[in-house]
Amino acid sequence: MRSSILSPCLVAAALVAAAAVHPAVAAVSVITGPTPIPLGAARAAGDITVVNEKLAFAIAVQSVVPYGVPRGALVDLAPVSNGTIQRDRVVYADFIPNDWSAWPNTYQQVDILERGPDRAVIRSVRDWGAVTITTTYTLEAGADHIVLSTTMRNGGAQTLANLLSGFTLWPNSGYRFGVPGLSSLEHGPATGALADRTVAYDADWMIALHAPYLTDLAHASLDLYQRHDLAPGASRSFDAWLQVGASGDLAPVVAAEILRQRLPAGLVRGSVAGRDGRAIGQPVVVVEKAGQPYAWVLGANGRYSIRLPAGNYTLYATARSHSQSAAVALAVAAGSEQTRDFVGLDAPGHLRFDVRGAADGQPLDARIAISRGQQPLVEFLGRRTFFTELEPRGRLDLDIAPGAYAFEVSSGGGFTTPASTVALRVEPGKTRRVRVALRRRFDPARLGWYAADLHHHADQAEAVTPPADLARSQLAAGLDLLFVSDHDSLVNLPPLQRIAEQRGIAFIPGIELSPSWGHFNAYPIDAGKSLAIDPGTATVDALFAEARRLGASVVQVNHPLISYGYFTSLAAGQAPGGFNPAFDLVEINATESATDRAVFERMWQFWNEGQRYYLAGGTDTHDVWNLRSGRLRTYAHPAGALTTASYVAALRAGHAYVSYGPLIYPDVCFGDTLTVPAGREFHLGFALESLPGVKSVDLIGNGEDVARRDYGRGPGNGPQRTRADFRLRADRAGWYALVVEDTQGHRAYTDPVWVELAPAR
C-alpha cells in the first residue's frame, strides 16, 4: 500500500493545527500519522486524517480495520465544535461489496490526491476477488459532509449476480434513526422509504449517511445497499454523502436532502411553550410524513425553524422528560413560509420504583419498560427501558414525562418469574413511589441448573452498552453469571470483573474474534493479556491458537450459518485455513433465529459422526435498551458449586441446553452416556417447567424424529410443571435430544444423551 507521508515535524504541527481548528478559517488539512480524533482507531504511522472546521475523518491505511474488512477504510469520524475535534463516533463507515460476506483481499493502495486548503481528496483502491473497488473521499473547506464515490469493476470472466453493495454507517455510541418509513425493517427492499438516508445521533452530535442509490437495507438501516449484477468487464458506481453535525438536530440533514435532490421546499418556524406559558429552553419539534417519523429539529430559547420539502406533514413539540403537544397538520408549498406555535407542554414528573420478592421481601434486580404511554422518538429525550440500580438493589429513580403509563416490571427475563404490569399516572413536578412485588414460580438454580447469555457485547465496536448497564441488564434477566464478548477487545473485562465481585456473582470474561468469514467467542480469557493477532488477516488456525493463548478453554462458533458464518464460509471455500476441528461449542443465536433449526440439524451431523461438539445460546445483544439480555440463554449443570470454571466445564461436557423459555431437568444429564443391553427397553425422562405452559416435546434420535408429546395447552393457561417420558428400545448406539416448545412458540434445544450398547446377557 502507498500513502503520502509527512515529516515528523510537519505531523506535529498538523496535529496541533487540527486539534484547534479555528471556525473562522475555512480550510482543509491532511495529516499522516496517528489520528488526532479522540478515541480514534487509526493509530498507525501511515494512517490519514482529514480535517476542516466542521468535521474530521480518518482512514486506516496501516491500522487494523474492524470485522476483517481490508485496510484503506474510513474508521473514525467526528464533528468539530468550536474549533475542537470531538470524540470518534463510528466504528466503520465505508463501502461493502456484498452484505458483509467474506472478503477475499490481496492488496490495498491509498493515495492523497489533493491535500487542501480548498479541498482534500483521498483515493483507496483494493480488490474483492476479481473486482477492483476504487473509493474516493472528498472534503471541501466549509463543508459539513464528505462526498463518497465508489466504483466496482469486474475484471473476471463470470457475472456476479444478486449482489448487495453500498455504504454502511456503524456508530460506536448514541442512537439510530433508520430510513424514514422503514425504521422498523431489519432487512429487505427499501420500498416505501420516505428518504434515502440513515442517521446516528445523540444530543451533541449527528452523522447522516445519504445514499441516493438505495434499493435495499440491512441491519436495521446500518447498511444502505443497491441490489445489482456485475457482468464481466462492467463497472458500477455508488455515490453518497456522510454528513456530520455537532448536535442531534436533523434540520441540516433535511436541508442537505433538499439541496442534493433539488427539491421544492418551504420554511416552517415557531415557538414552543409550557403550560405556564413560559418558553421551553431546548424544545424538539418532531416531523411526521405519511404517518411515519421523518425528521426533527432542535430549537433554542423556545424557538425552532426547519425547511421541509413540499408536501403534507404532521408536527408536534416536546422536550427532555416533558409531555408532547397536540399534533398539528401542515401543508408545505414551494417557497412558502409558515408559523406553527406549540403550547401546553407539561414539566417532568418523578418516579421511584422499589422492586422486591413477594415471598421474602428482598430487593430484586429488575427491568422496567414502558408498555403504554409516552415513548420518545428522539431517544436522548428519555428512554423506554430502564434497569434497577446495582446499589441500592431493586431501586430506580427517574424523571419522566407526565401522563398515563403502563410499565412492565420483570425479574428473571420471563423464565422463572411472571412479569407484573403497573398502571399509573405521572403528575408534573411530583414524585410518585411505586412498590412492586414479583413472585418467583421456578428456581432452576435450586436443582443445580444455572444460566448465562453466552454472546453479549458492552460498548466496544458498534455496541453501545457501558459495562455497568450490561451487568444491570443481565442481573435483571435473572442470569446466574455475567458474560461479555466484545469484538476483538478485552477492555471491558476488568470493570465487569469488579462488578461481579461486588455482587458476589461469577463472571465469564470473553472476546469475540471477528474476521470477515466467521466470528468466534473465546472464553474464559485472561484479562491481563492483550490480543496479539490481527483477526482480519489471520487463518482459522492462528485464531484458535490465539484463543488458547489468551487462556480460553472454550472456542464457540458464533452464528455459523449466516452469510459470513464459519460454516457458510467453509462451504464457499472462503475460510482461510479451511476446517479446523479445534472448536468446542456451536451457537444458536437469538438475532438470527431463522437459522435455529438449521444449526440444530447441523449438530445432528456431528453427533451422528460421534463428534462431541455441543450447543451454546446467546442473544448477541449490543444495546440493552432495545434488545433483551438473556432472551435466549444457556442452562448448564456444573459439578459442585457454581464457579466460572465449573460452569465452563459443564458446557464442554454437554451438560447443557439452550432455551428461549422452557426449563428442562433430565433424569440422565445431557452429555452423559447411558449404557443399555442391546435390544432392551430403556427410559428417558425429563421434568419440564414453563411460565406460559408447555405445548409440545419432540424427541430426536440419531437425526430422526422418534416421538412427540402434545400437551393440549393454549396461550393464557399459565405456569406449568409436567414431564416428558419415553420408553425406547436399544436397537443401536447413538444419541437422543429434545426440542421443547411452549404455548408462545418459544423453544429449547438440548445437547444429546448418548446411548451405548452393552452385550445382551
Tens digits of residue pLDDT in 649-659: 999 999 999 99
Phi, psi of 547 (to 5 degrees): -60, -45
Rounded to an integer, what distance in angstroms lies between the CA atom of residue 135 and that of residue 94?
9
Q: What is the DSSP letter of 89?
A: -
Tens digits of residue pLDDT in 297-320: 999 999 999 999 999 999 999 999
Tens digits of residue pLDDT in 562-603: 989 999 999 999 999 999 999 999 999 999 999 999 999 999
Is residue 461 over pLDDT 90? yes
Q: What is the DSSP letter of 631?
A: S
Rounded to an integer, what distance in angstroms lies between the CA atom of residue 760 and that of residue 225?
63
Q: Which residues pair with 431 in a beta bridge?
A: 350
Phi, psi of 17 (to 5 degrees): -65, -45
Residue in the structure block whose three cell numbers are 480535517: 51
Compute the average pLDDT of residues 115-120: 96
Q: Domains of the chain by range and CATH?
A: 8-248 (2.70.98), 260-345 (2.60.40.1120), 349-441 (2.60.40.1120), 452-660 (3.20.20.140), 661-761 (2.60.40.10)
Quote the percentage of the chain above a pLDDT of 90.
Answer: 93
Residue 35 · residue 47 · CB < 8 Å: yes
Amino acid identity for residue 732 in this structure: R
Residue 105: the pLDDT is 84
Residue 221 · residue 187 · CB < 8 Å: no
Rounded to an integer, what distance in angstroms lies between the CA atom of residue 669 and that of residue 677?
19
Between CA 454 and CA 461, with CA 460 as vertex, the angle to 5 degrees is 105
Compute the average pLDDT of residues 543-558: 98
Residue 730 · residue 680 · CB < 8 Å: yes
Which residue spans within 463-611 are E strands per DSSP? 481-487, 506-513, 520-523, 554-557, 585-589
CA-atom Rg of the chain in angstroms? 28
Compute the average pLDDT of residues 708-723: 88
Rounded to an integer, what distance in angstroms lies between the CA atom of residue 48 and that of residue 118?
17
Confidence of residue 761 (pLDDT cuts 50, 70, 90): low
Number of CB atoms found within 10 A of residue 354's CB:
17
Tens digits of residue pLDDT in 375-409: 999 999 999 999 999 999 999 999 999 999 999 99
Residue 10: the pLDDT is 34
Amino acid identity for residue 289 in this structure: K
Residue 677 · residue 759 · CB < 8 Å: yes
Rounded to an integer, what distance in angstroms lies between the CA atom of residue 532 and that of residue 516?
18
Residue 80 · residue 206 · CB < 8 Å: no
Is residue 15 over pLDDT 80? no
Confidence of residue 331 (pLDDT cuts 50, 70, 90): very high
Phi, psi of 717 (to 5 degrees): -75, -25
Amino acid identity for residue 310 in this structure: A
Is residue 8 over pLDDT 80? no
Strand order in the sheet with 420-426: 385-387, 367-372, 403-410, 420-426
Number of CB atoms found within 10 A of residue 602's CB:
17
Is residue 3 over pLDDT 50? no
Residue 22: the pLDDT is 42
Rounded to an integer, what distance in angstroms lies between the CA atom of residue 642 and that of residue 479?
13
Strands 337-339 and 265-274, by their bridges, are parallel
Rounded to an integer, what distance in angstroms lies between the CA atom of residue 163 and that of residue 96?
10
DSSP 57-85: EEEESSSPPGGGPPSSEEEEEEEEETTEE
| Residue closest to 394 by CA, chosen among 414, 409, 413, 375 | 409
Which cell numbers hold the place of 557? 462458533
Residue 13: the pLDDT is 36
Residue 717: the pLDDT is 81
Residue 81 or residue 24, greater confidence: 81
Q: Helix axis angle, 467-476 relative to 493-503, nearest 10°?
A: 40
Amino acid identity for residue 354 in this structure: D
Residue 397 · residue 431 · CB < 8 Å: no
Instruction: Please name the residues in contact with 275: beta carbons below 8 A apart, sequence gap of 6 or more.
Output: 343, 344, 345, 346, 347, 428
Residue 718: the pLDDT is 85
Rounded to an integer, what distance in angstroms lies between the CA atom of residue 388 and that of residue 758?
55
Residue 246 · residue 79 · CB < 8 Å: yes
Confidence of residue 4 (pLDDT cuts 50, 70, 90): very low
| Residue closest to 52 by CA, chosen among 144, 151, 132, 161 | 144
Residue 101: the pLDDT is 74
Length of the chain: 761
Which cell numbers hold the place of 759? 452385550
Number of CB atoms found within 10 A of residue 115's CB:
18
Q: For the chain, what is the total number of helices (H) and then of strands (E)?
A: 8, 53
Rounded to an integer, what distance in angstroms lies between the CA atom of residue 598 and that of residue 589?
12
Torsion sign, CA atoms 87, 177, 464, 369:
positive
Residue 259 exposed, middle or buried by CB count within 10 Å (0-12, 13-18, 19+): exposed
Residue 75: the pLDDT is 98
Phi, psi of 600 (to 5 degrees): -60, -40
Residue 21: the pLDDT is 43
Residue 24: the pLDDT is 41
Rounded to an integer, what distance in angstroms lies between the CA atom of residue 693 and that of residue 712?
10
DSSP 3-state of 155: coil
| Residue closest to 452 by CA, chosen among 383, 500, 502 | 500
